[in-house]
Every structure is written in structure tokens, then in C-alpha cells.
Amino acid sequence: MTETSSPIHFRDNTRHTPPSIPLATQRATSRFLVNRAARVGEMPNWEDLRQAAHDLRLDALDHLDELIAQVEAEVCKRGGYIHHAGNAEEARRIVLEIAHDHRVKTVVKSKSMATEEIALNHALEAEGIRAIETDLGEYIIQLAGVGPAHIIAPAVFLTKEGIADLFSQKLGVSAPPDPRVLADIASQKLRAEFLHADMGISGANFIVAETGTVVLVTNEGNGRMVTTLPEVHVAVAGIDKIVPTWDALTVLLKLLARSATGQKISTYTSFITGARRSTGEMGAKEFHLVLLDNGRTRIHRDKKARETLICIRCGACLNVCPVYNHVGGHAYGGTYSGPIGAILSPQLLGMAIARELPFASSLCGACVDVCPVKIPITKILLHLRQRVVEGDGVEAASAPLGARIGAQAAALALRVPFLYRVGASKMRILQMPFLHGDSLTSLPWPLNRWTNVRAFPAFKNGFREWAKGRVANGRTLEASRQTLVSSTNDMKLNIAPRVAGTQSDEMDRLIAEINALSGVARRVYESEIGAALRELVEQEQIQRALMWRSENLARWKIGDTLRGQGVELIPSDAGKEEMARAELGITEADFALPETGTLGLLSSDEKPRGVSLLPRVHLALVRASALRADLHQVLTEARSNGYLVLITGPSRTADIELTLTLGVHGPRALYVWVIE
Amino acid sequence: MTIRAQLFITCLADQFFPDTLKHMAQLLTRLGVEISFPERQTCCGQPFFNSGFVSQARPLARNWLDLFGADDAYVVSPSGSCVDFVRHHLPDLFPFDSNEHVRALALAERAYEFSQFLVNVLRVTDLGAVFPIRVTYHASCHLLRGLGAHDEAKRLLRAVQDLELVPLNEEETCCGFGGAFSVIFPEVSGAMMSAKVRNIEASGAQVVVACDAGCLMNIRGGLERAGSRIRAMHLIDLLAQT
């Protein structure tokens, strides 16, 4: 995707929208909305969360300089490198330098709107570096040579037939138009790339200033692959991604997936704090964070528009917007589309390029209702319209002079009661040639823009005549002094954490939630572990396995059982390519969250990250002591650990025609045994 | 104590829906409201404000404020979008805490859209109307989201004798009018209008009711263009049926 530098013509882009676009778009957005509604219905404190999220995000903006300094300190403290990129050009240069320093030939990328914004892939390719998008949707549009049409589902506008054709053309494979087959093809192609890439580039859904932690939210395992396997990890993110604390992060994580796709939590949430601490742990050896400004500070200075920056990129506003649903994402011309695009693009790109976008809205306000951080999108649209038409402290007017003169004349005609009445009576006469019964079916330019679509009603003022003598003109009184009662809610919003049920209930809940997501979870007695494992090995045809080292896994004789079945145990210092040959990975969960069916896994020399990522089957054993009632507890305990991944079900994608496919870049099968 | 209300007729209704305004005057009078009609009213400034012409909107808003603010009576209007404007945007046209700003905020508190005035101020839902027709309701955006009107209109409709109220799929989805939007991006506006028309046809209703002249102009035009026999009516006109 190239940087937008020519004016975005929204009118031209939407004059002839092929029906396939609204059809495909609405198929995706309606599914997301239905699921979102179900999640919102389950959360009695949803409005409290939204308000808290809005307030904390705005508060963070007010302290952005301090937070940036804190991120810098925390990243450097841990041996990472931080870079500040004022604009797209600088950002590209920085990444290229890092690539050159490490003689990088291949880069694997996980989804990042920021890297789209700066057209990074193009710059890498120009230097002879292969830059491979690994999120299935992004991989597809990269092959197609276009930008994303939706924040969450970039390839939403393509049919499975279109994608099959694309694969045939660009990859030389003949594939049936079956989403699962197509996803598998992409998955297999990309696995080798992950293992051999020299550098992984990610974005960041959030950056936690408290510890300099990059948070990645994905459903596919590509984000994990990109940040676990290559030796160098570069994260590129806008400065608006910074959140001050892990507590603040918790609020946002509760809102993000629910708002985006209607999942309680995405399949994988990774918390990456710098480089790996030992080779055995796995992860990048060198960590770089590129903080991108690219116009964000300028937006921040504009008090009326600064809330644009609190967006958490969920895409809910796109899903609910009738304009977006009729025209699709590409009509908006830039990286960002839908309502957020209509306010962000004009501020990042300037009005010379994006002046049509603030008008690409009927101001219906549906977006305002669903935004998880309560961005007053319609207010900001109005503010930007004023910037286009009249200019303000940020930009001079960019609307044509004729429009402004016309508006002045119209305003005068409407303001002066005499002119208003004369105008009205004139209209009754002027309309006569165009009158057909009760309506004006075709009018001259520019009003033909209306009548080309539907008839205009006839002018028929008659009320004022009627009112004379029937309704009093109105009396003037001494305007009574009304005291203004403004109610301010000073109450500090306290988001109460979830209270756990009994241990047995919690275990049942964990199992139910995991099974609902196509995992295979059950209770297993300690004494049964051996038998269960033998059964699994046979069922899943396991020949090679990886496992974590822990007291309990040793006590449960996991290694012995595997060897007894003739399964080769690949040692964790064998290197990633060797490890990638294993079909089964066995871990012991550090945390388990029954509410969402989530497992929390830390990492260390004894607990390499690849064990739960590379094999097609992941078996996680969970003891009751790992159970936690609320996400907040897990994050509080894990925050100083350096790395955490939250795993909720097998890896998945719905990027091809919203068809669910498991096992894309991560384990296809997740077994969870709750040990009693 | 008699409730007094000034009629804020809005430029669209003034030019295109005089009967609706007559009905509004008659209904309010019948309900014992002492109405007045400040003749010098023209436009509140919303169309200019919504298009970014804030400097043009301001003098119109000032005139509106001076005219309607001179009387401490309620202000009642047949348009949700105009009331949303005077409540939530007009005050901010003036510097914070200025005399105009303070007066505008005070006036905003007593400005009402018709259905909300009836149900929330007069506490009336049954006007004795009779309308033995199958009706569906389109929720205009500014009335719904700007003014938080979730069920006032429907409560009034349910009290109408012999009226059958049927649900409208995507009732709360914008019809595509959006003021200047309809002429700036006519194709998108038209697509939204067509979707609304399809939903109205699918509802099985004989009449679709809305509380905003802009929506009605758009929907009526759309139904006509689609060759439909379904009528688009303002709630006020329906409530005047006996």
C-alpha cells in the first residue's frame, strides 16, 4: 500500500459501487455486530467500562510526553532500542537501517496499520528485502496489491473464488474455492517463512508505559510467530498506542475483542517486554520499538479533535456505519476507513488530500453509540467540516471560494425575515415549470443531484397565512433568570472485578468455555494422566513432541510416558527448525481464566515459547492453583515477568468469507486437562 | 397552571409541510397548551453548522436565541434534528460562559421535539386519534441518538385506535438524508434510501411514520421512485386523524 499523496475523491470512489462490495462487507459486519451485541448483553458494567476507558485514554494523552519518556526508559533498561520517528519517511529509514545492520533478507510482518500508514513494505521491497505479510487477510491483499478494506478483516471484499484465482495466479497453486483449503495453503507457505525470516516486524495494539511492554492482539498465531522466531523484532506503533499502566490496559482489553468481533477475548494476546532473556526461552535476541508521530502530536494539540487519538482500532464504528456498509473500505482512500477514517485521515493527511472525508457521513451517530472509548465522532466530523469550509488554527480553508460565497448568500436570505418570506414566495413561482403533481421530479444542477435519486417535494408554504389571526405572535416577558444546574459526575469509576464461584464451578466454567471454542477440555485425575496421554498420542498420531520442564510435569511422568510410546522428545536447545518438526507441545498453564476459557503462559528457559506455538497439537495441563477469577489478577501477577501469552482456544481465522478455519499459524488442536 | 409553548416551525416544514404545522398547532391547542407563533423566525442555522459554515450559522443562531429566548415558554418543534441542534450545538457557537452561551443553555432545557413534549412534559399518550391502518416507524437519527428518544413516538402510536404497529427491520439505521450529505454524495445517500425503502416494503406496513421532515422528504421520494403505494407520514399528521 503506497502512502496517499493525491486527493481522495470519495464521490468518484462511490459513484458506481459494484453490488458485491456492500454484499461482502455487510456479511462480515452484520456477523461482528450480532456477536458484539451478545457480548455487550452479558456485561452489566459495559457503560462503566466505556466511560473508564474514555477517561483513562484521554488522561494518558494529557501526559503523553511523560509516558513516552517512561516507555523509553523501560525499553532501554531492558536492553531494547527505542527510536522516535517524526514522520513516515523517518520511520522507513529507521527500519531500513536496522534491516541493513542485520543483513536482513526476509521480513515477516504481523498486521500493523501503522506500517500500512507509512507504506513500509514498499520501502523494504525497494531495497531488495522480501517483506511478507502473515496475517491471512493481509497476506491475501498483499498478493492482490491493494490496501486493507476493514481494520479487522482486511480482505472482506474478496470472495473465495477470487482468492482461489489469486493464489493460482500469484502462487502457482491450483486450489478449490474452499476457505479452509486456501487458509491451509497460506499457512503452509508461511510456516517456512516464519522459521527462516531474519526479522519480524509487528505493530502494537498497546504499549504499556509501566514496563515498556508491547501488547499484540490476534486470532491467528502469526503475531506470536513473528515475535518469537526471528532473531530481531521491530515493533512499529503510533505514540497514541501508549497506555500508562497494566490496570488501564485491563480495562481496554475487556472492551477490544468484544467490540471488534464479539469474541470475549482474541485467541492470542501476547505481552512482549523486550528481547528474550535466554536462548532457551525463545523470542527475539534484539528488540526495537519505533514510535511514530506522523501528525499525531498535531492532532493532540487540537483540543476539539484530540479524542481521535484514543481509538483502540476495534472497527466497531465501521461495522455499524451505513455509509461504510454501502461503499466498503477502499472508497475512503487511505489506510483507515469508516467513521474513524473519516476523522483520522483528514488530520493525518491534511485537507488538501482528504477534504471530502469529513463530509462522507450523514451524521447519524451510530458510531458514537458503539465506540468502546466514546470518541465523539460526529462532533469531530463537524469540527473538521468547519476546517474545510472556513479554515481554523490548524489549516486554511480548502473549500472552493464559490461554495463559501454561496453559503453567505443563502445564510443572508434565510436570516433576514423579509428576504426569507420573499424567497419563499418566489420559490412557489419559480418551481412551476418543474412541478408534476405534488412534486418536482427533475431540477436543474446542482439540485439534480437530489432529483436523480428521487423527487423533491413542491414548495407549499401556507402555515404562516393560516396562523395569522389564529395563533398569537408571542409575548415577550422579562426572561426569568434560570439557574444553570450542571451535574458533574465526580465519582471515580470503579470497575469491580469478577467474583469467582466455587473451585469446582470455576473448573467447569473453564472447561465449558474452552470447548465452546473448539478446544478439547476435561478433568483428568492425576492417576489417569499417563493413560490419557497415551490415548492422545495415538489419536493424534504423535511421533515427536516438545515439553516444558516443571516440577509437576516431571512428577506426572510426562516425559517417561511419551518415551514409552516411542515418541521422540525434541530438546528445547535443538533450535527452532528442529522444534518445528514436533507435532505435540506440552505445557503447564501458569494461569487459567474460567470466564473466557483463557490460559496464561509465561516463558523462560524451562518454558520455551515455541512449545505452545509450533506444533499442531498443544496440550496444556492446568492445576486448580492456576485458576484466577479476573483478567486483572493475571495481569497484575504477570506484569513484571517480561513475557506472557494468553491463549483462548486453537488458532483461527475468518478472513476468507467469514468462514472459520482453525490452525492458522498456531496449533490446530488445543487439549486442556484440568488436573485433580 | 397553563403550559405555554412557542411553535418552532423549522424552515423545511415551513416550506414543504404546512399541514403538519397546522396539525401541530391544533393538537397542542386541543391539549390545553397556550401556543404562540413568533413570526420573525426563519432558520436556526443547523444546515449551515452541519456543513461547516459556522460563521454563517452563528448569526442565525443568535437571532433564534433572541427570538425564542425572550419568552420563558417552552419551544416545541416537529423536527428532532433541529431540536438536537439547538440543545447540543447552538450553545457552543458562543464563547463559554458568555451571556449568549448561558442564555442558550437555559433555552435548550425547554426546547422539545413534539413527541417528546407530549409524552415527557404533558405526560399524554392518547390524543383520541383513530387510524385503522398498518403502520411502521422509522427512528430518525437525531431524535433517537441526539435526543435519546427511544419509545415516545411508539407509545403515541400504540395509543391510536385501531392502528396496527408492525416492526421495521433496521428501524434505527439512517435513511440516508443527512442534510447536505444527500446532495454531496447522492449515490451513497440513494443506496441508504433504497435499503430503507426495501425494509419498509418488507414490513408489510401501509404507512411509514417518522418525526423529521428531512427523513420524510427522502423516504417519501424513495417510495415514490420505487413505485410503492406505501405512504410516508409525519407522526403529527397521523395523530390528527380522527
pLDDT in tens, A153-186: 888 888 889 899 999 999 999 889 999 999 999 9
CA distance A442 to A625: 75
Q: Which residue of B9, B50, B186 is in closest CB contact with A463?
A: B9
* Residue A661 pLDDT grade (very low, low, confident, very high; cuts 50, 70, 90): confident
Please give the residue of chain A at the shortest CA–CA distance from B178.
Answer: A362
CA distance A484 to A601: 54
Q: Which residue bears the cell 515477568?
A: A641
* Radius of gyration for the alpha carbons in chain B, expressed in angstroms and rounded: 18
What pLDDT does A4 receive?
A: 65
Q: Which residue of A10, A407, A477 is in closest CB contact with B53?
A: A407
User: What one-character DSSP code corresponds to residue A566?
Assistant: T
> What residues of A are in contact with residue B39 (Cβ under 8 Å)?
417, 464, 467, 473-474
Nearest CA-CA distance, residue A193 and chain B, Å: 42
How does pLDDT run across A405-434, given as a tens digit for each residue? 777 778 877 777 777 877 887 888 888 888
Q: Which residue bears the cell 503462559?
A: A601
> What residues of B are in contact with residue A337 (Cβ under 8 Å)?
none
What pLDDT does A556 receive?
A: 96
Please give the residue of chain A at the shortest CA–CA distance from B181.
Answer: A362
What pLDDT does A655 receive?
A: 84
Three-class SS of residue A585? Answer: strand
How does pLDDT run across A293-310, given as a tens digit for each residue? 999 999 999 999 999 999
Nearest CA-CA distance, residue A199 and chain B, Å: 43
Q: Which regions of A506-616 does DSSP assign to beta strands (E)? A: 520-524, 544-547, 568-569, 584-588, 591-593, 598-601
Three-class SS of residue B15? Answer: helix
Mutate: best of B185, B225, B233, B237, partner A, most A CBs <10 A:
B185
Residue among A276, A268, A248 nearest A635 (CA): A248
What pLDDT does A474 receive?
A: 72
Nearest CA-CA distance, residue B135 and chain A, Å: 22
Query: Which distant-in-sequence residues (6+ apart) come within 8 Å of A609 by Cβ?
Result: A224, A228, A281, A282, A283, A603, A643, A645
Neighbouring CB atoms inside 10 A of A645's CB total 24
Q: Which residue of A459, A467, A475 is in closest CB contact with B25?
A: A467
Tell me phi and psi for residue A77, to 5 degrees.
Answer: -55, -35
Nearest CA-CA distance, residue A131 and chain B, Å: 36
What pLDDT does B53 receive?
A: 93
Q: B35 vs A472: CB contact, 8 Å cut-off? A: yes
User: Is pLDDT of A473 > 90?
Assistant: no
CA distance B181 to A339: 15
Query: Which distant-in-sequence residues (6+ apart) come within 8 Å of B240 by Cβ?
Result: B23, B26, B27, B129
Helix axes A401-415, A417-430, angle to 10 degrees: 110
Q: Which residue of A453, A474, A484 is in closest CB contact with B193?
A: A453
Q: Looking at this protein, which amino acid is placed at residue B163?
A: L
> What residues of B are in contact with residue A464 (Cβ under 8 Å)?
14, 39
Q: A369 vs B145: CB contact, 8 Å cut-off? A: yes
Nearest CA-CA distance, residue B156 and chain A, Å: 24
Mapping DSSP onto H, E and C, the string for B93-140 reads: HCCCCCHHHHHHHHHHHCEEEHHHHHHHHCCCCCCCCECCCEEEECCC
Nearest CA-CA distance, residue A427 and chain B, Å: 9
CA distance A75 to A242: 13
Nearest CA-CA distance, residue A69 and chain B, Å: 35
Please give the residue of chain A at the shortest CA–CA distance from B174.
Answer: A364
What pLDDT does B27 receive?
A: 96
| A-B C-beta contacts closer than 8 Å | 223
pLDDT (average), residues A388-405? 86
How high does pLDDT run on average in chain B? Answer: 96
> What residues of A are in contact with residue B220 (Cβ under 8 Å)?
457
- The complex scores an ipTM of 0.95
Q: B18 vs A427: CB contact, 8 Å cut-off? A: no
Q: A364 vs B15: CB contact, 8 Å cut-off? A: no
CA distance A246 to A413: 57
Residue among A381, A398, A357, A354 nearest A5 (CA): A354
Q: Which residue of B38, B177, B178 is in closest CB contact with A473?
A: B38
What pLDDT does B127 receive?
A: 95
Helix axes A20-42, A246-260, angle to 10 degrees: 130
pTM listed for this prediction: 0.92
User: Is pLDDT of A481 > 70?
Assistant: no
> What residues of B are in contact with residue A459 (Cβ under 8 Å)?
15-16
What pLDDT does A494 receive?
A: 55
Which of A81 and A474 is assigned the larger pLDDT?
A: A81
pLDDT (average), residues A531-560? 96
Nearest CA-CA distance, residue B2 and chain A, Å: 15
Residue A429, all three cell numbers: 413561482
How high does pLDDT run on average in chain A? Answer: 91
Q: Which residue ranges in chain B fall short of pLDDT 70? A: none
Q: Looking at this protein, which amino acid is placed at residue A599?
A: L
> What residues of A are in contact with residue B11 (Cβ under 8 Å)?
414
Q: Which residue of B22, B51, B190 is in closest CB contact with A389?
A: B51
> What residues of B are in contact with residue A456 (Cβ under 8 Å)?
217, 221
Please give the residue of chain B at the shortest CA–CA distance from A15.
Answer: B187
Q: How far is CA B183 from CA A359, A361, A364, A628, in A?
A: 11, 12, 16, 56
pLDDT (average), residues A664-671? 94
Nearest CA-CA distance, residue B126 and chain A, Å: 24
DSSP string, A590-655: SEEETTTTEEEE---SSS-GGGGTSSSEEEEEEEGGGB-SSHHHHHHHHTTSSEEEEE-SS-EE-T
> What residues of A are in contact with residue B25 (Cβ under 8 Å)?
467, 470-471
The percentage of residues in chain A with a pLDDT greater than 90, rounded to a whole number, is: 76
What pLDDT does A437 receive?
A: 83
Please give the residue of chain B at the shortest CA–CA distance from A454.
Answer: B221
Residue among A477, A473, A484 nearest B72 (CA): A477
Please give the residue of chain A at the shortest CA–CA distance from B140.
Answer: A364
Q: Which residue of A384, A417, A450 is in closest CB contact with B183?
A: A450
What pLDDT does A658 receive?
A: 81
> What residues of B are in contact with residue A358 (Cβ under 8 Å)?
52
